[in-house]
Structure 1
Amino acid sequence: MIRTGDEYRESIRDGREIWIDGEKVDDVTTHPMFKPVVDARAKIYDMAHDQAHKDVMTYQDDQGETQAIANKLPKTQQDWWDKRKSAEEVQKAVRGVVTRVGDETIGEMWSLFDGQDILNEVDPRFSDNIRRHINRTITADTFHISANTDPKGDRSKPPQEQDPDMLLHVVKETDNGIVVRGAKYETAAAYANQAFTKPTIANWGNDTLSDYAVGFVVDLSSPGLKFISRNGFAGKAPAEDYPLSNRVDEVESLVVFDNVEIPWEDVLFYQHTKAAAFIRQTLHRYSALPFVQRTLHMADLMIGSALWNVKQTGLENNPAVQEKLAQLASYREGINAHLSAAILNAHESPGGLLMPNQSLLMTGRVFALNNLPQMMHVARELCGGQICITPDKATFDNPEAGQWLDKFYSINENWVADDRRKLLAFARDLLNSDYAGHRLTFQLFAQSPPYAQAAAVYRNFDWEGPLDLVKDAAELSDKVNGGR
């Protein structure tokens, strides 16, 4: 069934313990720092019912039921094109970039779906669990997120030599399941339904079995969970001056697992370090595509903000300005080319899904994120210094000061002061605000740090091709094969 926005809101009014800004939250759906992003996620649910969007957002399954395209198992190239179109529709509808809404994190479950043979080595029940959970996510339309990052503690020491809770671990087994302690940083946890929880650093030791090598789906209404959230940007300044901060700020939380019981049917792997290592290496084989697509949308927002600014001031025909715009366009199309090529060169995965070409996808991610800071600065240059010095709307509205701002911010009869102010406020929030800085740093957290992204490229690139090419061109003997 496809849920409505109100059904989603009701599903997270479950008495969970949330703290933000030094206070305990009574209702996450109405709290001023959470409400805008909860409303954005609710809007995505409602789009599935809206005549203007439902054909892009949904599909009919084999039983004739309407389901969300975002959760559909990808088995054809068309499935991926449909997912890209659906994700783009969402970004346009919320008028900003929202990263953690489910379509990018359900892919992590598909990676484990590909590893069912490994799960069967541990316990065939775990393979059954992953298939059941993927099916439930499709049919119940849950808001599914990812739980990866632990507080970590002293990373020069194994967890057994410090406070063991620094990495999430199993403290005991019960008839019903396992009991876990520790904590995870999670985007959207305070307002999502469930999270795929797993380790991201492999310092559980060299043993075949480890209580730290555990993965499961946690119901985020479970007893014992505490959500300690960072201070949000929404409501700190007027929406007229900071439209993105007040519309699409996604709040992260430190989710504390205080002896939380996970039922056996929700455990996806346990103790087996081989399974944990597999998921660490393959975690983003699907989720990287929708995540990098977010950066593509960010590029479009930067291009639009910069181009409108130079059009306002009559500089779009200046060759130096065109060169900067071409840099942004090349960046944008470079991302688009990697995403499209990854789909066009996709191949069947071990689990029978259609997996994007991993070398093209992972190099696309490196290209998109490594160049993002530079491209943001190019966009700043094109927008000009006014994005950091323009007064707020309240001053524009002041009868005395406003008359001067109206004079100096009006360019011609087509570009009046209020439109100029709106554009500069949007560009400032996109490129220069606390929110903009947070979003840039967030890239180091959301899809692993640069060294891990480079490692993914290294694992997936075809090194044999260049080796064979040079071996033939240099007329090397067959003896060199022994050195590979």
Structure 2
Amino acid sequence: MSLTTGAEYLQRLQDGRRVWLEGETVADVTAHEGLRASAREIAALYDLQHDPLHRDALTVEQHGERHGRAYMKPGSAGQLVARREGFEVWARASLGMLGRSPDYMATCLTAFAANQTFFSARENKGFAENLARYHEDARRRDLCLSHTFAGPRTDKSKTVSGQGAGLATALRIVGETDSGPVVRGMRSLATLAPLSDELLVFGAGRPLQAGEEDHSISFAIPVHTPGLQLICREPFTRQGRVDHPLASRFDEMDCVAVFEDLVVPWERVFVYRDIELDRNFKVATHFNEHVGQQVLARRVVKTELVLATVSAVVESTGLSKADEPRRRLGEIVTGLDLTRACLRAAEADAFPADSGMWTPATQPMLAGLRVSKDVYAAAIGTLRDLSASGLFMTPTSADLEGPLAEVISQYYRGATADGKERTRVYRLAWDLVGEAFGSRQLLFEKYFLGDPARSYAAAWDRYDKGRLGALLEDALAGGPTADEPTRGRS
């Protein structure tokens, strides 16, 4: 088995999984109005792997079979660049709007599985071998994976085991059977889980303390496993490709995963009752560096879409030569250049990690992740400001096709576009700025890899402060006094 097709992917989702949406269970996630559009978009990505134009960018041949490139461990700097080029193909196909396209978790799992030395510490060797076998199986079956790395947010001031005011809400081990451990509790932020083949559970979401070993478990299970329920947020899907060109296609669902005495097969357990592994797996496996390459490649495309929309809005108002709109457009371009520069610097300074897997350089990658989310947010702000009231004074597709079509064509025209074309541009702008879909996209990017404040604080904590001390000493020491000869002066 290898390289799934879109049809095969959609068929796999019809497996009796328990998905709750707006108070009801979903009989078929591929047919539900709030889920089917994004399911079809994921299916289209899988089909691109079979397209001769994109096959070599998205896949790699090994032992007579082709596999998704994101599932392959980069063995050189060149292979790392080739992986990013594959990321770009899927990002362009989805306009950068699918933050959890299958290549994201494939990259994550590959980074984990490559680090056998780390996961084999202490009593975890057998579970580390499970991880390697699972990675090979996921690669062979070309699975679409989701993950949940976050715990409940009941009380942020308390430890993981102290959540819920006496009610045990965080996922934990509650027993063992011959088949495997029994888990109960919840995990959040399972984005795309209703449309994934399997769910990867890693880490407790917050650092575990001594005595919290029951909360230390990492594993993977099929989404249809008995004992797992997914509770979806409100769908942001809107109907109509003209009225909602993005929200009609790319609303990837976010969920809470509830585990009710679910038995995890022993062969699918990767970390078990090991607090140190639970705390340190992201740093040890260079998680942020690897998935960050996919994130930055996607964010470039996504931000370019916003730039294209801003440009079209400015053109339609006849202000493309005015200083202020050009300045605002130039700010977006500068942010894009910075994002690309961080991505390329991370690739140029890539290194072979202890696992043998070539890894993007840490500092430029983390800088790119911090900067690019702010670049996207600023670009959305520019689109809002320059579109102004035009954002909500825009006709619908029904208006464009109705009795007032000629009136709209006349009175809604812009400086460079007729009423129909200008309407389509502003409908796209509204999807990005005004709809719940656009608001979710902005929030998603801001908190993609955790609390932004902690990310910036961590950047300061990691900085080489010895360099600053030496520089400060030089400044405070002052230069030569007036009666001292300048070095080299006769």
Please give the TM-score of this superposition, normalised by the length of structure 2. Answer: 0.90
8 Å CA contact 1:59–1:66 kept in 2: the answer is yes
TM-superposition CA deviations, 1:397-431 (whole Å, max 9, x none): 221x333211122347x722211111111111122
Residue correspondences, number = 471
Residue segments in structure 1 that go unaligned for 5+ positions in a row:
477-484
- 1:206-221 matched pairs, under 5 angstroms: 206-207=210-211, 210-221=213-224
8 Å CA contact 2:217–2:271 kept in 1: the answer is yes
**Do residues 290 (structure 1) and 282 (structure 2) align?**
no
Correspondence for 1:195 among 193, 199, 207: 199
Which residue number corresponds to residue 226 of structure 2? 223
SS of corresponding position for 2:213 = strand
Counterpart Cα distance in 1 of 2:95 and 2:375: 23
8 Å CA contact 1:288–1:447 kept in 2: the answer is no
SS of corresponding position for 1:440 = helix
8 Å CA contact 1:114–1:349 kept in 2: the answer is no
SS of corresponding position for 1:257 = strand
Counterpart Cα distance in 2 of 1:75 and 1:264: 31
TM-superposition CA deviations, 1:328-356 (whole Å, max 9, x none): 10011111111111111111212111111
Counterpart Cα distance in 2 of 1:383 and 1:280: 41
Q: Which amino acid aligns with 2:89?
A: E
Correspondence for 2:318 among 311, 314, 317: 314
Could you tell me how far 1:26 is from its partner in structure 2?
0.8
Counterpart Cα distance in 1 of 2:104 and 2:167: 30
Which residue number corresponds to residue 258 of structure 1? 260
Q: Identify if the C-alpha distance between structure 1 residues 471 and 73 changes in structure 2 by more than 3 Å, giving closer, same or farther.
A: farther
Counterpart Cα distance in 2 of 1:219 and 1:164: 27
Residue segments in structure 2 that go unaligned for 5+ positions in a row:
479-490
8 Å CA contact 2:161–2:168 kept in 1: the answer is no
Counterpart Cα distance in 1 of 2:376 and 2:25: 36
Could you tell me how far 1:453 is from its partner in structure 2?
2.1
Q: Which amino acid aligns with 1:60?
A: E
Counterpart Cα distance in 1 of 2:5 and 2:358: 29
Which residue number corresponds to residue 27 of structure 2? 26
Q: Which amino acid aligns with 1:34?
A: L
8 Å CA contact 1:359–1:461 kept in 2: the answer is no
Which residue number corresponds to residue 443 of structure 1? 445
SS of corresponding position for 2:84 = helix
Which residue number corresponds to residue 187 of structure 2? 184
| Greater displacement, 28-37 / 212-221 | 212-221
Which residue number corresponds to residue 59 of structure 1? 60
Counterpart Cα distance in 2 of 1:337 and 1:348: 21
Could you tell me how far 1:7 is from its partner in structure 2?
0.8
SS of corresponding position for 2:101 = coil
8 Å CA contact 1:143–1:194 kept in 2: the answer is yes
Q: Which amino acid aligns with 2:77?
A: Q
Q: Identify if the C-alpha distance between structure 1 residues 456 and 111 changes in structure 2 by more than 3 Å, giving closer, same or farther.
A: farther
Q: Identify if the C-alpha distance between structure 1 residues 374 and 472 changes in structure 2 by more than 3 Å, giving closer, same or farther.
A: same
Counterpart Cα distance in 1 of 2:293 and 2:448: 13
Which residue number corresponds to residue 166 of structure 1? 169
Q: Identify if the C-alpha distance between structure 1 residues 425 and 164 changes in structure 2 by more than 3 Å, giving closer, same or farther.
A: same
| Greater displacement, 254-263 / 118-127 | 118-127
Which residue number corresponds to residue 109 of structure 1? 109
Q: Which amino acid aligns with 1:35?
A: R
SS of corresponding position for 2:290 = coil
8 Å CA contact 2:72–2:110 kept in 1: the answer is no
SS of corresponding position for 2:214 = strand
| Greater displacement, 264-273 / 50-59 | 50-59
Which residue number corresponds to residue 485 of structure 2? none
Please give the TM-score of this superposition, normalised by the length of structure 1. Answer: 0.91
Q: Which amino acid aligns with 1:219?
A: P
8 Å CA contact 2:151–2:206 kept in 1: the answer is no
SS of corresponding position for 1:100 = coil
Which residue number corresponds to residue 274 of structure 1? 276
**Do residues 394 (structure 1) and 395 (structure 2) align?**
no
8 Å CA contact 1:409–1:416 kept in 2: the answer is yes
Could you tell me how far 1:99 is from its partner in structure 2?
0.8
Q: Which amino acid aligns with 1:256?
A: V
TM-superposition CA deviations, 1:414-468 (whole Å, max 9, x none): 7222111111111111222211111111234432111332255346544455455
8 Å CA contact 2:3–2:142 kept in 1: the answer is yes
Counterpart Cα distance in 2 of 1:200 and 1:292: 26
- 1:322-341 matched pairs, under 5 angstroms: 322-341=326-345
Counterpart Cα distance in 2 of 1:459 and 1:287: 22
Which residue number corresponds to residue 246 of structure 2? 244
Could you tell me how far 1:203 is from its partner in structure 2?
5.2
Q: Identify if the C-alpha distance between structure 1 residues 471 and 145 changes in structure 2 by more than 3 Å, giving closer, same or farther.
A: farther
Which residue number corresponds to residue 488 of structure 2? none
Counterpart Cα distance in 2 of 1:266 and 1:458: 38
SS of corresponding position for 1:154 = coil
Which residue number corresponds to residue 481 of structure 2? none
Q: Cα RMSD (Å) of the superposition?
A: 2.3
